[in-house]
């Protein structure tokens, strides 16, 4: 089931997604300088030294053992929303969608828009989400729920009593986060809180907007995060916003506990770039990263779109993906992802939407086309994620039984072969800040 209502209403905030603070020229490195230094920063921040020592059962080092090192997953989260899963028009297209997703990505955002998720009071649609989440789990894809609180539209069944509506909102957070604990452990808890009271939202969601205003902007966000934390103390909780100006920073400064520690675990930045002329250049993107890294938590780019069409059309039906647009999209995707991957505070990038099929506003912003054939942007991103930024090597242990390598942070499968003995396979993780020294015993 696609959630067309939330897709249509998501466009309420689209026009604001390109707003950035500090339009004036800011001193610092140029776009070219930032991109030129990206590979060096990636080498420092996204890789680590590791060593594998091969020994026999008595602990004696084994020289000249063949060690095959293959990365199986990035620690960095390369993601996309997976809203179309299970709802494509035919089995061939459905399987192509899933295959393309798995080949490239290790992170998926699942839909929790309240009106679509609970169209009747007391009857949330947990089953479908669980099915998608379990499929992701089976394919090594980590998951996030989006969003738990967002006043984008009111449903007809919402009560007029604002106190009751508030209790239902917090109860929804309690239920969803607790129910999916261990299956979905990342959440966009509150979405677009900075300007929750803008006219478009107040008109579309008068009850939720009034409830939020009664509770108070900051207190509402605080309570949503507190309830999510109680429901799953190990969860990663985000505040997600399109607004990257000082008002969002001020909100983040206030959403803290009594010790001044943030109640959130990551800052979510939307970066939907709909107009060709409004692609975020490197300098602007870097400034946003720097601005929000000061809060001491990771920065997640939660909703990224770069279109492959020529212009913003007057009619949705007149917004095709073009060869020229696809070539430009590919270049911009490479620059944008390279810069974000090189910034030490950034932990995740989520594309929005994966395919042009039923995309928001029918915009040509997918990494694949309506028929699931990959655009150049998909191929270029795959070349980076599973090629340039992917570790695969074969080593031989020295006299001390040890072989060293430097690899990208993430999960690995290590296969050791010695003589005519059966190979020994171990699953290991290369982690930032760890010694990453592994001993593998050959029977």
Of the candidates 348, 350, 196, 201, the one whose C-alpha atom is nearest the C-alpha of residue 271 is 350
How is domain 4-31+79-374 classified at the CATH fold level?
Answer: TIM Barrel (3.20.20)
**pLDDT tens digits along 174-203:** 999 999 999 999 999 999 999 999 999 999
Q: What CA–CA distance (Å, rounded) separates 269 from 349? A: 9
Q: What CA–CA distance (Å, rounded) separates 176 from 210? A: 23
Instruction: Tell me whether the CATH fold assigned to 4-31+79-374 matches the one assigned to 38-70+392-442.
Output: no
Q: What CA–CA distance (Å, rounded) separates 290 from 30? A: 15
Average pLDDT over residues 294-308: 96
Residue 314 phi, psi dihedral angles, 5° rounding: -75, -30
User: In which residue are the tokens 């409004």 written?
Assistant: 278
Q: What CA–CA distance (Å, rounded) separates 8 from 399? A: 64
Query: Which two structure tokens, joined as six digits, stand for 208?
Result: 């939720």
Q: Which residues on neighbouring strands pair with residue 405, listed in sequence order?
A: 50
Q: What CA–CA distance (Å, rounded) separates 272 from 304? A: 5
DSSP string for residues in 77-91: EEEEE-TTTT-SSSH
**pLDDT tens digits along 100-137:** 999 999 999 999 999 999 999 999 999 999 999 999 99
DSSP string for residues in 13-55: TGGGTT-BS--S---S--HHHHHHTHHHHHHHHSEEEEEEEEE
Residues 6 or more apart whose CB falls under 8 angstroms from that of 366 comprise 308, 321, 353, 354, 355, 356, 357, 359, 375
Q: Domain limits of the chain? A: 4-31+79-374, 38-70+392-442
Q: In this predicted structure, what is the pLDDT of residue 277?
A: 52
What's the chain's length in residues? Answer: 443
**pLDDT tens digits along 321-356:** 999 999 999 999 999 999 999 999 999 999 999 999
38-70+392-442 has CATH 2.60.40.1120 classification:
yes
**pLDDT tens digits along 258-286:** 999 999 999 999 999 875 457 899 999 99
Q: How far apart are the first and last CA of the chain?
A: 51
Q: In this predicted structure, what is the pLDDT of residue 135?
A: 98
C-beta separation of 253 from 263 below 8 A: no
Q: What CA–CA distance (Å, rounded) separates 184 from 172? A: 15
pLDDT for residue 63 is more than 70: yes
Q: What CA–CA distance (Å, rounded) separates 288 from 285? A: 5
């Amino acid at each position: 089931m696609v959630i067309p209502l939330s897709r249509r209403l998501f466009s309420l905030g689209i026009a604001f997604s390109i707003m950035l603070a500090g339009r004036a020229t800011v001193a610092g490195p140029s776009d070219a300088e930032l991109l030129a230094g990206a590979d060096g920063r990636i080498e420092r921040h996204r890789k680590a030294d590791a060593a594998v020592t091969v020994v026999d059962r008595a602990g004696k080092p084994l020289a000249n053992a063949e060690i095959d090192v293959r990365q199986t997953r990035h620690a960095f989260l390369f993601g996309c929303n997976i809203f179309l899963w299970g709802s494509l028009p035919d089995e061939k297209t459905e399987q192509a969608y899933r295959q393309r997703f798995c080949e490239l990505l290790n992170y998926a955002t699942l839909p929790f828009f309240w009106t679509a998720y609970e169209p009747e009071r007391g009857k949330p649609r947990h089953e479908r989400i669980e099915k998608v989440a379990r499929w992701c789990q089976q394919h090594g894809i980590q998951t996030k729920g989006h969003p738990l609180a967002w006043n984008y539209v009111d449903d007809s069944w919402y009560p007029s009593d604002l106190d009751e509506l508030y209790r239902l909102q917090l109860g929804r957070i309690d239920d969803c986060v607790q129910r999916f604990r261990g299956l979905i452990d990342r959440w966009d808890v509150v979405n677009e809180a900075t300007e929750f009271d803008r006219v478009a939202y107040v008109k579309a969601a008068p009850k939720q907007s009034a409830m939020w205003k009664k509770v108070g902007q900051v207190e509402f966000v605080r309570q949503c995060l507190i309830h999510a934390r109680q429901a799953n103390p190990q969860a990663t909780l985000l505040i997600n916003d399109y607004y990257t100006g000082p008002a969002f920073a001020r909100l983040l400064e206030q959403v803290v506990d009594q010790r001044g520690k943030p109640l959130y675990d990551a800052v979510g930045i939307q970066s939907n770039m709909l107009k060709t002329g409004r692609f975020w250049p490197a300098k602007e993107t870097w400034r946003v990263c720097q601005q929000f890294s000061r809060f001491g938590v990771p920065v997640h780019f939660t909703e990224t779109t770069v279109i492959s069409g020529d212009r913003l059309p007057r009619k949705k039906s007149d917004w095709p993906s073009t060869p020229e647009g696809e070539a430009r999209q590919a270049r911009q995707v490479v620059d944008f992802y390279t810069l974000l991957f090189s910034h030490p505070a950034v932990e995740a990038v989520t594309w929005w939407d994966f395919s042009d099929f039923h995309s928001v506003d029918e915009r040509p912003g997918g990494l694949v086309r309506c028929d699931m054939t990959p655009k150049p942007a998909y191929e270029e991103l795959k070349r980076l994620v599973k090629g340039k930024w992917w570790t695969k090597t074969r080593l031989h242990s020295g006299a001390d039984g040890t072989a060293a390598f430097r690899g990208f942070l993430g999960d690995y499968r290590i296969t050791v072969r010695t003589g005519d003995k059966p190979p020994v396979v171990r699953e290991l993780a290369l982690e930032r800040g760890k010694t990453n020294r592994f001993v593998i015993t050959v029977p």
